[in-house]
Amino acid sequence: MKHLFKILLTLCIISVCNSAYSQDTVSNTITNFNITDGGTKFSYDVYILRTTPSSFRMGSSSFYVRYTGATMNNPVLSNINPKYTVGSVSNSYTNPFTIINGSTSKVGIQLLYTSGLGDDITDNPGFDGLGERVATVTMDILAAVAITFNWDQINSDVVNPGGTLTAKSLYFGTYTGTLPVELSSFVSVINKNNVTLNWSTSKEINNSGFEIERKNSDENSNWSKIAFVNGNGNTNDNKIYSYKDVGLNTGKYNFRLKQIDFNGNYEYFNLQNEVTVGVPSQFELNQNYPNPFNPVTKINFSIPSDSKVKLDVYDISGKLVATLINNEIKTANYYSIEFNGANYSSGTYFYTLQSGGIVVTKKMVLLK
C-alpha cells in the first residue's frame, strides 16, 4: 500500500506539471537582419505564428536572443505590433521594452500583460509565411567584428494571460556574418541638376559592389535603384568610387549605398546630408546629345521662371519639320526632350527654343 501511494503521488505531480503546458504550438522567427549606418547599427525582426487550430491569447511573453562576437548596446524597439501595446483592442498590455545584459550578451523583447482577455496570436502566415511581426530591435555596434545571433530558448516563453499555460514554441532563424566593408567617406557634389556621389573604403571583404539608391525626401516616397558599381572583392587598400546622377528635376533627394557581398549579404550606407537641386539661375539651351545621332537624341534646357515654351526643329532649308513643345506653360525647372529622327533623312537640322522673349538656336546632325 505504501508503494502504491508513492506511485499515485508521483503520477499526480507529473499530471499537475504537464497541465502547465498547452497543446498549442507557436513558431518564433528572427529575420530581416540588417547592418546599417556605415556598420554602426544592427537590426532584426521578431515574428510569431500560431500553428495549431485552437486560439491562444498572448500574455506576459518573452523573446530573447543571444549574440556572440560583437559588442553592442542601446537596444531600441520600433515597428511594435499595436495588438500588444497600450490601446490594443483588448486593452490588455503596457508598452513592451528591451533588456540587454552585457555579461551574457543577451537582448530581449518582453510583452507585458496587465489585465483583460488578451489578444489572439495569429494563425495567418501572411505574405512571407512568418505570421505577425512582434517588433524590430535595433542596437549600436561598438566593434566591427563577426556577429552570431540565435535564439535564447531558455529565457523565451509564450504564455497565456493568466500565466497558467505555456505554448509549445518552435524557434527559427539565426545570423552569422561580418562587416564586409569599412566606408571611410561618402559625400555629394551638386552641379546644376547633376549630382556626383563620391565614396571611399579602407577595407573590403568579399565585396561584390554597391547598388546606388535614391528617393525624394518626401516621407511617402520609396527607394529606387539607379545604378550598380562593382566592388574590389578583398582588399586592405584604400579604394575610391564615384557615380554621377544626371538630369534631376528641381527637388530634394536622399541617397544611399547598398553594399552587397558575393553571398548576397548586404548593408546600407546613408548619405548624411540631403541633396537639394534648386531652381535654374538662368535660361539655357544645351547641345543635344548624342550629336551626331541615329535616330534618337535628347535636347536639354532649363528655364529660371514659369513661362510659355516653344521648341521647334527645322531642316537646313529653314522648313519646319517638327514641333516638340507648342507654347506650353512650363514651371521653372530642368527639362529633357527626346527627338526621334527615324522618319527624316540624314543631314543638318536646327532646333530653336523660345521662352519669355528669349530665342536660342543650335545645330544638330542626323547621320544614318
- The secondary structure of 288-337 as a DSSP string is PBSSSBSSEEEEEEEESS-EEEEEEEEETTS-EEEEEEEEEEE-SEEEEE
How high is the mean pLDDT of the chain? 88
**pLDDT higher than 50, residue 5:** no
The 10s digit of each residue's pLDDT in 117-139 is 999 999 999 988 999 999 999 98
pTM value?
0.57
Band of the pLDDT at 14, cuts 50, 70, 90?
very low
Nearest to 198 by CA among 247, 251, 238: 238
**Confidence label for 7 from pLDDT (cuts 50, 70 and 90):** very low
* Mean pLDDT to the nearest integer, 230-244: 94
The full length of the chain comes to: 368
b (16+ CB within 10 A) / e for 316-331: eeeeeebeebeeeeee
C-alpha cell at 294: 541615329
Distances in whole angstroms, Cα of residue 270 to Cα of each of 37, 96, 335, 342: 6, 29, 28, 43
Q: In the structure, what pLDDT confidence band is assigned to residue 2 with cuts at 50, 70 and 90?
A: very low
**Three-class SS of residue 17?**
helix
DSSP 34: E
Rounded Cα distance between 30 and 127, Å, is 16
Query: What was the pLDDT predicted at 9?
Result: 36
Q: Which of 340, 178, 325 is nearest to 259 (CA)?
A: 178
Domains of the chain (ranges, CATH numbers): 24-177 (2.60.40.680), 181-277 (2.60.40.10), 284-366 (2.60.40.2550)
Closest residue by Cα to residue 359 from 324, 310, 326: 310
Confidence tier at 145 by pLDDT (50, 70, 90): low
pLDDT top residue among 301 and 34: 301
Res. 236 pLDDT band, cuts 50 70 90: confident
Question: What type of residue sits at position 299?
Answer: I
Q: How far apart are the first and last CA of the chain?
A: 110
